Structure 1
Amino acid sequence: MTTILIKDSYALYRDGMQKFLSDLFLNNYCENVNFLFEFNIENIQKADIIMMEYCKGEALICTPELMSRKRSVIIGITNENYHAKSIFPNCISDIVFIERGGDLGEISQQIIMQWESFKMGRRIDCYRSCSTCQRVKISKKQLAVMSNIHHGHSIKEIASLYDLSYKTIFSNKYNVMKKFMLQSDYELLVFLNRLSERDLLLRPGLVPGCNL
């Protein structure tokens, strides 16, 4: 039996994917599927396939829980085609992406291709080491600006808070968006919401010891 862990906040999509994958593995491999939905270390270690939703830019940051992966297939679910050319963190360096609204035939072929590769032992355990990880990093200064933006403060308000120029704060915002390939304020806010869910943002206001 194949074990698949699905982490997705859209209940209808998650339910539909469960039915889709059940049929896919039954029709192609005569196998039943055991589904897991709690994203924790125990289930990550059990899973043969891990499916996770990603917003724009999120795949470039670290997901520490995935360091506990056994040899497994990891599939990212996105709302649009993901053509990022960046190097992903070691924990998901072997990730492939499917589009949430993509063609089911193409998604089937992608999953089958990854599963066949997995069964033939072609996947490499390259996600064990953090020391060589080339994940995109965000500085404490940038994190302070992002935390204030996430809590609704304008660039002008943040500049006043730190007694800095508008240009300096805007530059921090621009550099973060460039690092994570975010092309609009909407994409930035979705990304910051996801960071907040992971408890990666700072408390709003002036951050002690952080001199922008």
Structure 2
Amino acid sequence: MKVVIEESDALYRHGMEQLLKKIFASQGNETVEIEKLTPTNLLSADIIVKRYDAGIKYICQPLIRKRKAYSLIIGVYEGNRDDINSGLPLCISNIVFINRRESVVKAKDIIMQGWEECHSRPRSYNHLMCVSCKHRTLTSQQVLVAAHFYRGYSPQKTAEILNINYKTVGAHKRMIMTKFDLETDYDLLNFINILLKNNYASERFKNILNSRLEHL
């Protein structure tokens, strides 16, 4: 069995590794091979353990679509998000989420149930499914506002540069926060950082955002 993990906290990663080895060794799997998640090994993994910071669950992640049909995604998140399973893109509709503060017993139950379900109902995918997918994107105007926010511009300065009312800037920012379930400015900055770092955004998003970041 091949497991890939995306986790910067060494202690949490070690705990997750030991838990997965314990679960699947007891089910007759002789070896559990664990690696750091990369774009390459994700495609052949049986289990994918991935961080889902605020907002990330709503966006399109093309590599996830190409994973094995029977693979299980374990999404690790922080905070109190009662609606964590709502509004998911089709490519991760069978994901299981584990709160970082979850007890070992409950985490084990969630993983085992998810593993059984993904094998009894393997994921099917074709490109036409993307047309009806629920993943969320930013409008061109929202990208511009996000870019200026990322660079530290105030709403007033952003409004001056974009030649719009500063209240409109605030409205766009609120719409971004609502659309991606972001509660704080830190959440928004972290969300943008992840988009830029991991190429999760659409080409249109990247072209507009990167252009603004380079030339402001």
| Range into which the TM-score falls when normalised by the shorter chain | 0.7 to 0.9
Q: 1:31 & 1:105 partners in 2: Cα distance?
A: 22
Structure 1 segment 155-174 matched on structure 2, within 5 A: 155-174=155-174
**Distance of 1:90 and 1:193 partners within structure 2:** 24
Q: Secondary structure at the match of 2:131?
A: coil
Residue 36 of structure 1 corresponds to 35
SS in 2 for 1:134: coil
CA–CA separation in structure 1 for the residues paired with 2:214 and 2:165: 17
CA distance in 2, matches of 1:12, 1:204: 38
Give the drift of 1:30: 4.8
For the aligned residue pairs, the C-alpha RMSD in angstroms reads 2.3
Structure 1 contact 161–205 (Cα < 8 Å) conserved = no
Q: Using the TM superposition, name which of 138-147 and 122-131 deviates more.
A: 122-131
Cα pair distance change 1:179/1:207, threshold 3 Å? farther
Q: Which structure 2 residues correspond to residues 142-181 of structure 1 after superposition, within 5 A? A: 142-181=142-181
Give the corresponding residue for 2:3. 4
Percent identity between matched residues is: 33
SS in 2 for 1:74: strand
Equivalenced residues, count? 205
Mind listing any 5+ residue stretches in structure 2 that lack a counterpart? none
Is the aligned partner of 1:22 residue 2:29? no
* Residues 136 and 79 (structure 1), Cα distance of their counterparts in 2 relative to 1, 3 Å cut: same
Cα distance in 1 between the residues matched to 2:126 and 2:103: 30
**CA deviation string 1:147-204 (max 9, x = no partner):** 1111211211111111221101001101011101112222222222212212445137
User: 1:87 and 1:146 mapped to 2: Cα distance?
Assistant: 22
- Could you tell me which residue of structure 2 aligns to residue 46 of structure 1? 44
Gaps of at least 5 residues in structure 1 are none
Amino acid aligned to 2:48 = I
Report the counterpart of residue 99 of structure 1 in structure 2: 99
Provide the secondary structure at the position in 1 that maps to 2:175: helix
**Is 2:177–2:183's contact at 8 Å kept on the other side of the alignment?**
yes
| Aligned-pair CA distance for 1:95 | 1.2
TM-score (norm 2): 0.85
TM-score scaled by length of structure 1: 0.86
Shift of 1:124: 3.0
1:135 positional shift: 0.8
